[in-house]
Amino acid sequence: MRLQALQPRIALANLRTAALPPKVADPFYSSPAWIELRDRVRREAGGRCQVAGCNRRGHIVDHIVELKDGGAPLDRSNTTLMCASHHAAKTASERARRTARRPGGL
Ligand SMILES: [Zn+2]
């Protein structure tokens, strides 16, 4: 008896031609109301990261409760100024929390 190779049942994806959709900037972040709040947060923070003990230059006005999680977009008390490093760490941690919450992970 000879073994015969089975035909693949699923076609392979051609990852070389698969492209992500173009990244589109959220129009919220160019609205006059956001720009006004963003500038106010930067000014009130003296341009410094507001994470305790950091004091690096603040680059990103962050929503403390992310908009994806229902945070208020234009509430001063839901915003803070962060350095790039603290903002990246927070974003990664929020993403991990969101992923873990979903049934079956990813
Ligand atoms: Zn920082």
What are the pLDDT digits (tens) for 50-105? 999 999 999 999 999 999 889 999 999 999 999 999 999 999 999 899 888 777 65
Domain membership of residue 7 (yes or no) is no
Rounded CA-CA distance 7/81 in Å is 56
Tell how far the Cα of 85 is from the centroid of ligand 1, in angstroms. 6
What are the pLDDT digits (tens) for 8-30? 776 766 666 777 777 788 899 99
Is 90 exceeded by the pLDDT of residue 3?
no
Tell how far the Cα of 4 is from the centroid of ligand 1, in angstroms. 61
DSSP, collapsed to helix, strand or coil, labels residue 80 as: strand
Domain membership of residue 15 (yes or no) is no
Give the pLDDT band of residue 43 (cuts 50, 70, 90): very high
Domain membership of residue 33 (yes or no) is yes
Tell how far the Cα of 41 is from the centroid of ligand 1, in angstroms. 15
**Exposure string (b/e) for 33-68, b if CB count within 10 Å is 16 or more?**
ebeebeeebbeebeeebbbeeeeeebbbbbbeeeee
Rounded CA-CA distance 21/27 in Å is 17
Structural domain total, the chain: 1
Segments of 1-106 assigned E as strands: 60-63, 79-82
Domain membership of residue 9 (yes or no) is no
Tell how far the Cα of 51 is from the centroid of ligand 1, in angstroms. 5
Domain that holds residue 77: 29-101
Tell how far the Cα of 96 is from the centroid of ligand 1, in angstroms. 20
What CATH number is associated with residue 56? 3.40.1800
Phi, psi of 78 (to 5 degrees): -100, 15
Tell how far the Cα of 3 is from the centroid of ligand 1, in angstroms. 62
Domain membership of residue 52 (yes or no) is yes
**Residue 99 confidence (pLDDT):** 86
Tell how far the Cα of 90 is from the centroid of ligand 1, in angstroms. 10
Average confidence (pLDDT) over 24-48: 96
Domain membership of residue 90 (yes or no) is yes
Tell how far the Cα of 22 is from the centroid of ligand 1, in angstroms. 30
Is 80 exceeded by the pLDDT of residue 1?
no
